[in-house]
Amino acid sequence: MADTAQMKVSDEVAISIQQMNKWYGAFHVLRDIDLTVYQGERIVICGPSGSGKSTLIRCINALEEHQKGSIEVDGTLLSSDLKNIDKIRSEVGMCFQHFNLFPHLTILENCTLAPIWVRKTPKKEAEETAMHFLEKVKIPDQANKYPGQLSGGQQQRVAIARSLCMRPRIMLFDEPTSALDPEMIKEVLDTMIELAEEGMTMLCVTHEMGFARQVANRVIFMDEGQIVEQNEPEAFFNNPQSPRTQLFLSQILGH
Amino acid sequence: MSDTPAQSVAFVRETAIPPSPAPANASGIVKWMRDNLFATWPNALLTIASIYVIYLILAGTMPWIFNGVWSTNSLAECREVLDGTVGACFSVLTERWNQLLFGFKYPVDQYWRPLTAFLLMFAALAPVLFFDLPRKLLIITALFPFVAYWLIWGGTIWTPLFALLGFVAGYLVYARFVTQSFALGFFGGVFAAVVVWIVTGYITPMLAPEQPLLEAVPSRDLGGYMLNMMLGLTCVSLSLPLGIALALGRQSSMPLIKWICVIFIEFIRGVPLITLLFVANVMLAYFFPPGSGVDLFLRVVIMITMFSSAYIAEVIRGGLAALPKGQYEAADSLGLDYPQAMRLIILPQALKISIPGIVNIAVGLFKDTTLVSVISMFDILGMIRGPILASTDWNGVYWELLGFACVVFFVVCYSISQYSQWLERRLATDHR
């Protein structure tokens, strides 16, 4: 398990965030964020609620706009140009806390929608890709059901498969297991671990510290909109430097 | 110590209990009546009072209906036949049913034309309303407006053919250019259609034969329930896409579009439909080139469509607001652009939520078409209040005529309501 975390990452830069600042009106929600993510890296972002971790990853695929600083994803600069934004969004997949599956479409249609309409893939090929990824997340038999008929864990795995069908180079996870009950968390985390072992670049906001220890190259702790500490998982959990990090870890690892 | 509760509480289940069916209700009609009608003393008294009221109503109306006279020629004759007993004079319906349904100026020997159009209407609506039917049937739906126009209004066949040609030309231009830019495709298509219509407008008088195959019937001669149905169907079909466009425009981040939509919606909702109909009758002529004499039916359709599209826009806006924000975000994060996200994700869900509101407006609108009787178009209500009640034969026959109007409206409105409930049940995919 330790060797997954130390797997060699490439030198290719996937995401480059420089001096990024964001305000909601007058509230300074993200302050001077500097972050470079290399291809193949797995990064876990943790922190108390309201620290801006979800906002940070939502800025990466332009679901939120930043006012100052620069974000570059896969070589494309994120600006207000719609073409750039659409290009970045098709290379970056995102999984949400509340799954956000499309309730009026079957599971298969959920997965084939984006490849058919954004990449103009023919329907047959899109369906084959969708079945391939549904098998990967271990629910191929649910393909013709509607999201409302699935359990929470199954829905989140479908959401992961749906993002993977676009063959993104980067995957963002916004607290993917926070809305699941404990028995289902394992099946989703197993899927994410498998994804990590195949070399996907991942940015994950989560409270699952076991997952961080097992899979992450780096753990980042955020508080009040700034990156307080980042380190390799072993060093981060065993030897936190900042008092704020120590306080957080004592509370979250206590129970 | 061995008798303490802790010793006797420990329990491990050996075998699982299999599920078994629920007990049969100790039911029966007597039990139902006991539970629902006579459960408590106040309930029992109310039940008895209600039964008495129902009896009074039936005692008043049933003899009136069953003693009805169906075959006299005037109200005076009816009274002679009835000779003092309470009874209805349904003969007005047997004599004037064709005027009530078709208006009093539509040529009697041409009734087969609107009837054919009426039957075709069902064939045209079927693939739209019942989405299990093969999609090829939508060709009938696409051709129906032109065929129905030709059947009802008659005149030269070149008019509907050229109208169809304009739409085809517009669509071809749209399809050619829309991949480059939506605006180019859309406005290019509109421009092409308008050009075709103007050009063919000049050619048609030259091509039209002296005696067209179907005798021409001007719009002022249309009337009766047929007119209500034509107005209802046309206006509801046109106002739905317009309402969707207004709802999306009102949400737009472009200030010009947003303010145009807001002003349009608020103005229309602030004005009664009757005043808009007066505008249609009198003032709209000033907005068109002089001497063009835009057809009365068209003017009324424009006004009623504008009216209902404003209301539908607000209902859809409610549906859009009811969607969780996550749906918009999921669509965006997959890389779908605005038209795709709207068409594939947002609008299907928003429209599904808005079905009750939209059907409400559609049913209300269909009944509001009777207001055209105020601008002297003789729909079914205009016929009743005008030619029929004003005639010496039938002056004073109110209940029978208005009752007939109520019945024909109820049949259609109730069918629409039942359809919408079926549609909602079919679309309820988010329940396990």
Residue A148: which of B332, B340, B430 has the nearest Cβ?
B430
Is residue B181 located within the same domain as residue B115?
no
Q: Tell whether B272 is covered by a domain.
A: yes
pLDDT at A255: 52
- Pick from B35, B50, B65: which residue ends a domain? B65
Same structural domain, B53 and B192: no
B412 occurs within a structural domain: yes
pTM of the model: 0.82
Q: Is residue B74 part of a domain?
A: no
Per-residue confidence band for A4, with pLDDT thresholds at 50, 70 and 90:
very low
- Within a domain: B146: yes
Alpha carbon A183 to its chain's center:
21
Q: Residue B77: inside a domain, yes or no?
A: no
| B83 assigned to some structural domain | no
Find the DSSP H helices in B178-295: 182-207, 224-250, 255-269, 273-278
Q: Quick one: B325 and B198 in the same domain?
A: no
Is B123 found in the same domain as B39?
no
Supply the pLDDT for residue A2: 41
Are both B254 and B326 inside the same structural domain? yes
Split at pLDDT 50, 70, 90, the class of A3 is very low
Percent of the residues in chain B that have a pLDDT greater than 90, as a whole number: 36
User: Tell me, what CATH number does B363's domain have?
Assistant: 1.10.3720.10
Alpha-carbon gap: A164 to the closest alpha carbon of chain B (Å):
10
Interface residues of B toward A, Cβ cutoff 8 Å, are 324, 326-327, 329-330, 332-337, 340, 344-345, 348-349, 352, 427, 429-432
Cα gap A226→A210, rounded to integer Å: 24
Question: Per-residue pLDDT tens for B118-132?
Answer: 999 999 999 888 888
Residue-wise pLDDT tens digits, A80-113: 788 888 889 988 999 999 999 999 999 999 999 9
> How far is B427 from chain A, CA to nearest CA, in Å?
8
Closest CA to B87 of B69, B104, B64: B64
Do B148 and B160 lie in one domain? The reply is no
For the segment A42-69, what is each residue's pLDDT rounded down to a tens digit?
999 999 888 899 999 999 989 999 999 9
Co-location of B34 and B144 in the same domain: no
The minimal CB distance from B348 to the residues A98, A104, A147 is found for A104
What is the pLDDT averaged over residues A19-48? 92
Q: Is residue B61 situated within a structural domain?
A: yes
% of chain A beyond a pLDDT of 90: 58
Whether residue B324 and residue A147 make contact (CB cut-off 8 A), yes or no, is: no
Domain that holds residue B242: 219-432
B147/B195 same-domain check: no
pLDDT value for B292: 63
Q: Calculate the alpha carbon distances from A202 to A97, A157, A218, B64, B329 in Å.
A: 16, 16, 11, 80, 19
Are B197 and B265 in a shared domain? no
- What residues in chain B have per-residue pLDDT under 50? 432
pLDDT of residue B25: 63
DSSP B366-409: HHHGGGGGGGT--BHHHHIIIIIHHSTTTTT--HHHHHHHHHHH
Based on the fold, state whether residues B134 and B200 are members of the same structural domain.
Answer: no
Question: Is residue B296 domain-shared with residue B343, that is, in the same domain?
Answer: yes
The pLDDT of residue B305 is 94
Query: Are residues B126 and B269 both part of a single domain?
Result: no
- For chain B, the domain total comes to 4
Q: Does residue B373 fall inside a structural domain?
A: yes
Contact in structure between B133 and B141 (CB atoms under 8 Å): no
What pLDDT does A5 receive?
Answer: 44
